[in-house]
Each structure stands twice: as C-alpha cells, then as structure tokens.
Amino acid sequence: MGKVAVKTKIAKMMKNSIKIALSLLPIVSLVIMPMVAVAQVPDDPFAGSDAPIQEISDVNAVIETIYNWVVGVFWVVSAGFLIWAAMLYATARGGEEQVKKAKNVLIYALVGIAVAVAATGMRSFITNLLSGGAA
C-alpha cells in the first residue's frame, strides 16, 4: 500500500470515529444529566434555607462588598492603563503616532483614576443620604 492510500484510510477512520463520538454524545449526556440533577436535590426540599441575607443590614453588607470589588477593579484597570501608557511611551522611539497613542492611553488611565476617586467619595455621600444623615 502506498503512502497516499494509508493517509486516506487514516482520514476515513478519523472521520468515522468522530461521527461515532458525536452520535454517542447525546446518548451519554442523557444518561449522565439525570445523575447530576439527582446530586443537587437537598435532603428535605421543604426545610428552611440558610440564606446568607437575613436582615436589611445584610443587604447593605452585600452592596458594600460589590461596591468594594467594583472600585477595586477600577483601580487595577487604571493602574494597568498607566503601565501600558508608560510602555507605549518608552517603546515609541520618537515615533509621533506611538507617542500620540501613549498620550491617549494615559488620558484614559487618568479618567479611570478620576472615576475611582469620585466613586470612593460618592460612597460616603450616598451612605449619609440613605441613612438620613447630613451629606
């Protein structure tokens, strides 16, 4: 047998094995999925849940946690933009287009920092506003 015939035979075997695998995939998933669903059933579905939020102060804690994450992401992204702008400027080698791009990235980084600072200041303002205190 020649090399071309062997390659053709291997290609046919690969296609057939792919067809078999794809045809068995729905059957296997139909067998496995009910087992996964059964694993998720609680012992007593009518028992009370241990919800993490029991009082309104818990809602405030969740909102504060989300807020802290979002502000943290703003700071990290802004720092990343600052580093990116510095790298662009350092590798510009006097190219005006590259320097212009670095300046634009620096502007976006400074805007991100301004948003993060404003968000940090808005936190106390909104907390005082919602709690009825003076802002």
Give the model confidence (pLDDT) of 13-42 as tens digits. 877 777 777 777 777 777 676 666 555 556
Q: Cβ distance 80 to 105 under 8 Å? A: no
Domain boundaries, the chain: 1-44, 56-131
pTM: 0.50
Give the CA radius of gyration of the chain. Answer: 29
> Angle at CA 109, nearest 5°, toward 83 and 63?
110
Amino acid at the residue 70? V
What is the tens place of the pLDDT at every residue in 34-65? 666 555 556 665 655 666 666 766 777 788 88
Backbone φ and ψ for 133, nearest 5 degrees, come out as -80, 170
